[in-house]
Amino acid sequence: MTKDTHYTGWGRALRAKGPVARPEKLRHLAELPPTPAFGMRRSYGDAPLNSGGAMVDMSGFDRFLAFDPETGCLTVEAGARIGDVATAFVPQGWIPAVMPGTGFATVGGCIAQDVHGKNHHHVGSFGAHVTEIVLLQNGVELTATPGTALFQATVGGLGQTGVILRATLRLKRCDGNLMLVTERRARNWEEHLAFLDASEASYTVGWIDATATGPAMGRGIVEEGEIGKGLVKERKRTAKVPLDAPHFALSSPVVRAFNQAYYHRVPAHGRTIARPMADFFFPLDKIHDWNRLYGRRGFHQFQCVVPLSSARALRAMMERISTSGLASPLAVLKRMGAGRAGYLSFPMEGYTLAIDFPNRAAARDLIRTLEIETAEAGGRLYFAKDALAEGARIRTMYPELNLWQEEVARADPTGAYQTDLVRRLNLRSA
């Protein structure tokens, strides 16, 4: 079934219209001409958009196909959601090795963006735990395995080597679905980085108060998590944002007040609490359509990673953000390791900062400035979040771009799988 559709990415700032096919069976998919695909469209910008062109919705292909309880290897269709994988297999003693910040991300999307989680400093990116990918190229199924050029061009490759049909993931063992989480206040930027650097926990993430200035600039809460033994019933209570919020909902005074209260929710001496696994890994999934809090114009997220040696440059970027009066409550700081699996994979060893901004002219100008500073710091931007970057700057951030281009040219010589993001950044042009 194909229908003309208006659709967006999760940020809702960029939009597209075109025919979207929702095939029910693989043979129906194989009968379509080569067409780019999306899953749940949890990339924030234009990665899942193809304005004026056709798209394939793969979210219906979500079956679990095979599981080996000895090795933990699970074969799933590309539309399977990572949260559903966790829900099904954690009670059996297995968990996805890497989980992004939303359980609604599909396996195909996790591969196409080579996502990272709160444990990247220990285990690397999502693609490092994929043992096989099956692609559809021009109606023909092909298999990509680690170490091959096709695999490295597919992982983090934005869907440009064909439609991901299914993949085999190497899950890791776990003892239950209970998280033991230690929360500590970081009083300023220096202490925040020091906590992240010293953490030996399996999972570590920092929430940062992007409105704090002066001596408190960079303050926040560092969470360190370990999977505990035992099973608890996951709470199903969810809220829903029924309509687009008005402009003032995330005004500067409101955000500052919220951040002040959120920072002080953790005692000055810190605490350790038990939390259901989903609350730790996917905290915003409890609020359906939370992206509507930014209003009908949507929002942009800026996410960069800079090398460890550029911590001072990242501090200057944070100062620029905190004095702008533009930031939202959603800001995250993490320490990353070196693990990445594809030519265009985002991670590098260093610090990553992610922060949301309502879609306003001043915010777009700020993000463009931050992008320039990221390039100057030797860092890179995350395709899953980007909607504003320029192609020339991106090229300096991804030194293996030419290797990706060579493999993509072989896989898709006519450019049939290009999306709005790929065209905007002119990624496929030599």
Question: Tens of pLDDT along 262-296?
Answer: 999 999 999 999 999 999 999 999 999 999 999 99
SS3 label, residue 328 = coil
Q: Where are the domains of the chain?
A: 178-394
Q: What is the pLDDT of residue 391?
A: 86
Q: What is the mean pLDDT of residues 323-343?
A: 94
Q: What's residue 382's pLDDT? A: 98
Q: How confident is the model at residue 232 (pLDDT cuts 50, 70, 90)?
A: confident
Number of residues assigned to the chain: 430
**pTM attached to this predicted model:** 0.97
Detail the DSSP E strand segments found in 35-129. Answer: 37-38, 55-57, 64-68, 73-77, 94-95
- pLDDT confidence of residue 116: 98
Flag whether pLDDT at 402 surpasses 70: yes
From residue 368, alpha-carbon distances to 303, 311, 346, 389 in Å are 12, 19, 18, 7
Predicted confidence (pLDDT) per residue in 142-190, tens digit = 999 999 999 999 999 999 999 999 999 999 999 999 999 999 999 999 9
Q: What is the CATH number of domain 178-394?
A: 3.30.70.2520
- Three-class SS of residue 342? coil
Average pLDDT over the chain, rounded to an integer:
96
User: How confident is the model at residue 237, as a pLDDT?
Assistant: 66
* Nearest-angstrom CA–CA distance, 246 and 53: 32
DSSP symbol at 106: B
Helix (H) or strand (E) holding 312: helix 311-322
End-to-end CA, the chain: 36
